[in-house]
């Protein structure tokens, strides 16, 4: 049993939270919407995983870096943390994209009066 993979996911989520806090991109900008979006993404991907496992489209891989703890058949505990991270990362990237697009000028710059181009 190893906590390596789970630890990396948790550390990555904390680092993403620090980036989010610094630039207020998602959770620290609109907390209610962010929590709803992460929860919705979590439920969506959890159902996706459960359906795929039920249809035998894929199964749990074995790795010495994983804990070996399953919350359901072929559903490791790391998957729950990963889909939470994935949903949060998507929200932070969306906030970053909105910020980048908002900073870009939407119209060409106008020349000051009396200046020819």
Q: The pTM is what?
A: 0.84
What's the chain's average pLDDT? 91
In-domain check, residue 75:
yes
- For residue 117, pLDDT over 60 is answered with no
Choice between 34 and 114, residue whose per-residue pLDDT is larger: 34
- For residue 109, pLDDT over 60 is answered with no
In-domain check, residue 102:
no
Question: Residue 116's pLDDT band (boundaries 50, 70, 90)?
Answer: low
**Rounded (10°) CA dihedral 103, 108, 112, 117:** 140
Query: Mean pLDDT: which of 44-48, 70-74, 100-104, 108-112 is highest?
Result: 44-48
14-67 pLDDT tens trace: 999 999 999 999 999 999 999 999 999 999 999 999 999 999 998 888 889 999
The region that residue 72 occupies, defined by phi over 0 for left and psi between -120 and 50 for alpha, beta otherwise, is beta
Overall average pLDDT of the 58-85 stretch: 93
Query: Do you know the residue count of the chain?
Result: 117
Q: How many domains does the chain have?
A: 1
In-domain check, residue 74:
yes
The residue range of the domain holding 57 is 4-96
Q: Which residues pair with 72 in a beta bridge?
A: 75
């Amino acid at each position: 049993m190893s906590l390596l993979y789970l630890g990396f996911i948790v550390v990555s989520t904390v680092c993403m939270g620090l980036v989010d806090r610094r630039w207020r991109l998602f959770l620290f900008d609109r907390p209610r919407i962010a929590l709803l979006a992460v929860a919705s993404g979590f439920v969506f991907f959890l159902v996706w995983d459960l359906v795929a496992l039920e249809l035998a489209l894929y199964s749990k891989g074995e790795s010495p870096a994983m804990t070996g703890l399953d919350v359901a058949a072929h559903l490791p505990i790391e998957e729950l943390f990963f889909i939470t991270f994935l949903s949060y990362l998507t929200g932070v990237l969306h906030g970053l994209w909105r910020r980048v697009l908002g900073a870009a000028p939407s119209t060409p710059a106008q020349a000051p009066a009396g200046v020819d181009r």
